[in-house]
């Protein structure tokens, strides 16, 4: 049953109660006391949400407008600052053109052109760098740009397309980063034909070349990023320089230098929202909510608490479905309200639930119960009434449903895989289910449930793990038990035994009784699991492991379900003693094939039998 239908059902019962005891007018008063404060509360939320939305939208628009103006202004400044650095190459170019490809006193001219944002000035006749200022520390820069592996392609592009190119940023040997600007120079020969002379080059320091602009932007509270295309023919941008923070949803300004595109992006450090203003408005919202809560306090205390306690009194705390009291009450009311309709009631429980509790503990038994309830809620329609009678017994009421309509559904649910998790592994469990139809076999709810109980008892008598419908002649007997629990047998059986998974590759210890723990010196089963890593193999002396395992599986493969093995068993203190084990392999519905193994102390057994025969 879904949460919504659950609450609706409770509300329907409350309405029915007040109709009978206080009349329709009282019901209307309850609805009024509930709905009016709720409407006021929702209107207050809507009003504040609208104010927050409008204010936030306006603030973001204003910040975008301001940021767009700043990015355009400082983007243009950055372009001019880079262009000013590039003008050095134009100055050298004009000198070369006027002096017919010669520059006299290069160091003097370059020294006058230098600034703090310039790393070096270079000349590259025929694309080969020959002159660098300052020369000290830049000797390695004298390379053939046209044929260089990293610089050749872009340098040839500048030469062939008569355009300035920028390359970088790259790490400078002197520290920091730089961008290389290469300006191709063309001269005319005696016949007036143009020819490629080489490059005038300037290395710009990053971010020194545009430090004034980014410093101003940082002071204004912006994160920024400057990037350029990898090459004139590329659409991929490479970051030239950026601030430490992230530029989320930035506004941008693009510009072109030569044939390359540059992009300048900015984002307010505090984001696009006015956080202070929003906090004030949210504070107003919290204040309004508090005031509205006070106004509705009387109804909440007087009415809501009462309804909550009624729900809790009818709900099973472990599974969050109806308990026996709640199920019986609602089932009675539903059938009385529609006495001519058809209903199907089902009772089900977990097969060998006591085994789960004894082996894994009650916490994992509770997990199995909760998983079963969750699978019921997921499988059955929302109008189905679900309950837990107690222990591992559950009940279902399907309204407007006949035996034929319910049969397939209940059979499918019975066969649906069910499991609980234990130490990271899923362990399957199974259910038995009996069901009956109203009014075919019963005239009231109590009789209907007794018929379902009789059907459940019948399936228990015929092997469990199944689903059966009630038929004439079945009787709801007292489901007697032998009176022994697994724990009783395990603790008082006159012998030491263990249970483990029968798997050649992945054997796993499941259980050891107190007799075995005492005989082998383990404090408790947790210590046994820890020292053996839950593996039967680790109970066998190392030099015997392969032989013993081979002997066990040889007998199994030959069709023997029982075997006797003699080996040395590891005690808790690391010593070994001689044992004879009698093992039997069986099929378990939960774990597949498992070994049940009974142990006898080899020495004690010989002493005992020798004494008997001697007498």
Residue 66 lies in a domain: no
Asked if 373 and 513 sit in the same domain, the reply is no
Q: From start to end of 232-316, where are the E strands?
A: 237-242, 251-257, 260-268
The CATH code of the domain that includes 140 is 3.30.450.20
CA-angle at 310, arms to 308 and 311, nearest 5°: 65
Q: Which residues contact 75 (CB under 8 A, 6 or more apart)?
A: 253, 254, 255, 264
Asked if 492 and 462 sit in the same domain, the reply is no
Asked if 242 and 173 sit in the same domain, the reply is yes
The CATH code of the domain that includes 421 is 3.30.70.270
Of the residues 441, 469, 497, the one at which a domain ends: 469
Residue 137 lies in a domain: yes
Residue 452 lies in a domain: yes
DSSP-assigned letters across all residues of 373-423 = HHHHHHHS-TT-EEEEEETTEEEEEEES--HHHHHHHHHHHHHS-EEEEET
Distance CA(199)–CA(180), nearest Å, equals 11
Asked if 119 and 205 sit in the same domain, the reply is yes
Going by the DSSP 8-state scheme, the letter that residue 571 receives in this structure is: P
Residue 380 lies in a domain: yes
Residue range(s) defining the domain that contains residue 422 = 340-469
Count of beta carbons in the 10 Å neighbourhood of residue 149:
6
Asked if 215 and 264 sit in the same domain, the reply is yes
The pLDDT of residue 303: 61
Residue 159 near residue 127 (C-beta atoms within 8 A): yes
Asked if 190 and 232 sit in the same domain, the reply is yes
Asked if 440 and 498 sit in the same domain, the reply is no
Of the residues 216, 246, 268, the one at which a domain ends: 268
Asked if 126 and 258 sit in the same domain, the reply is yes
Average pLDDT per block of 10 residues along the chain, 615 residues long:
46 44 56 75 82 86 92 92 90 91 89 90 93 77 87 93 92 88 93 92 91 90 92 91 90 91 93 83 79 70 65 86 92 92 94 85 91 94 92 94 90 92 88 93 91 89 85 63 56 82 86 90 90 91 89 78 84 92 80 86 72 50
Question: What are the b/e assignments for 429-463, b being 16+ CB within 10 Å?
Answer: bbbbbbbbbbeebbeebeebbbbbbbbbbbbbeee
Asked if 207 and 86 sit in the same domain, the reply is yes
Residue 261 lies in a domain: yes
The pLDDT of residue 14: 40
Q: Which long-range contacts (CB under 8 A, 24 or more apart) does 601-609 make?
A: 601/519, 601/577, 602/566, 602/577, 602/578, 603/577, 603/578, 605/580
Residue 30 lies in a domain: no
Asked if 113 and 259 sit in the same domain, the reply is yes
The pLDDT of residue 354: 85
Asked if 505 and 452 sit in the same domain, the reply is no
The pLDDT of residue 438: 94
Residue 158 lies in a domain: yes
Of the residues 425, 443, 469, the one at which a domain ends: 469
Question: What are the b/e assignments for 495-513, b being 16+ CB within 10 Å?
Answer: ebbbbbbbeeeebbbbbbb
Asked if 430 and 497 sit in the same domain, the reply is no
Residue 20 lies in a domain: no
Residues present in the chain in total? 615
How many domains does the chain fold into? 3
Q: Nearest to residue 386, comparing CAs of 323, 447, 338? A: 323
The pLDDT of residue 253: 94
The pLDDT of residue 517: 92
């Amino acid at each position: 049953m879904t949460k919504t239908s659950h609450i609706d059902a409770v509300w329907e019962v409350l309405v029915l109660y007040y109709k009978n005891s206080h009349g329709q007018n009282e019901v209307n008063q309850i609805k009024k006391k509930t709905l009016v404060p709720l409407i006021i509360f929702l209107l207050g939320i809507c009003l504040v949400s609208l104010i927050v939305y409008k204010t936030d939208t306006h603030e973001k628009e204003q910040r975008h407008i301001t940021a767009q103006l700043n990015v355009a202004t400082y983007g243009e400044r950055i372009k001019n600052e880079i262009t000013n650095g590039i003008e050095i190459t134009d100055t050298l170019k004009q000198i070369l053109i006027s002096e017919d490809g010669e520059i006299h006193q290069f160091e003097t001219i370059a020294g006058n052109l230098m600034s703090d944002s310039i790393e070096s000035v270079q000349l590259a006749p025929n694309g080969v760098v020959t002159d660098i200022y300052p020369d000290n520390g830049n000797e390695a820069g004298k390379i053939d740009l046209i044929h260089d592996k990293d610089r050749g392609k872009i340098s040839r592009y500048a030469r062939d397309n008569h355009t300035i190119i920028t390359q970088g940023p790259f790490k400078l040997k002197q520290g920091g980063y730089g961008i290389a600007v290469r300006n191709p120079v063309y001269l005319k020969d005696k016949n007036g034909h143009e020819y490629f002379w080489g490059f005038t080059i300037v290395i710009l320091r990053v971010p020194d070349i545009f430090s004034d602009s980014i410093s101003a932007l940082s002071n204004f509270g912006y994160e920024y990023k400057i990037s350029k295309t990898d090459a004139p023919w590329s659409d991929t941008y490479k970051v030239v320089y950026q601030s430490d923070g992230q530029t989320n949803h930035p506004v941008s300004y693009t510009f072109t230098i030569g044939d390359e595109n540059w992009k300048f992006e900015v984002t307010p450090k505090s984001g696009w929202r006015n956080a202070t203003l929003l906090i004030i408005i949210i504070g107003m919202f919290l204040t309004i909510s508090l005031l509205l809560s006070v106004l509705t306090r009387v109804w909440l205390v007087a009415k809501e608490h009462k309804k909550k306690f009624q729900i809790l009194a009818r709900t099973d705390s472990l599974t969050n479905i109806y308990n026996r009291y709640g199920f019986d009450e609602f089932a009675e009311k539903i059938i009385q309200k529609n006495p001519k309709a058809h209903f199907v009631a089902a009772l089900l429980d977990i097969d060998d639930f006591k085994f789960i509790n004894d082996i894994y503990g009650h916490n994992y038994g509770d997990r199995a119960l909760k998983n079963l309830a969750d699978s019921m809620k997921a499988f059955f329609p929302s109008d189905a009434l679900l309950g837990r009678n107690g222990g591992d017994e559950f009940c279902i009421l399907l309204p407007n449903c006949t035996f034929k309509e319910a049969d397939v559904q209940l059979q499918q649910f019975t066969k649906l895989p069910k499991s609980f998790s234990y130490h990271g592994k899923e362990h399957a469990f199974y259910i038995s289910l009996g069901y009956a139809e109203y009014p075919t076999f019963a005239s009231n709810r109590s009789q209907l449930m007794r018929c379902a109980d009789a059907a459940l008892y019948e399936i228990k008598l015929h092997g469990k793990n199944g689903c059966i419908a009630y038929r004439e002649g079945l009787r709801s007997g007292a489901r007697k038990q032998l009176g022994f629990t697994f724990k009783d047998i395990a603790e008082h059986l006159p012998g030491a035994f263990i249970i483990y998974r029968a798997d050649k590759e992945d054997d796993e210890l499941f259980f050891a009784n107190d007799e075995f723990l005492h005989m082998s010196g383990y404090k408790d089963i947790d210590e046994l699991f820890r020292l053996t890593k839950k593996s039967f193999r680790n109970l066998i002396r190392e030099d015997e492991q392969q032989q013993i395992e081979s002997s066990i599986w040889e007998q199994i493969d030959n069709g023997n379900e029982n075997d006797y093995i003699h080996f040395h068993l590891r005690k808790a203190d690391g010593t070994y003693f001689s044992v004879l084990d009698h093992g039997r392999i069986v099929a378990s519905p939960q774990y597949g094939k498992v070994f049940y193994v009974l142990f006898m102390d080899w020495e004690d057994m010989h002493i005992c039998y020798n004494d008997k025969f001697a007498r």
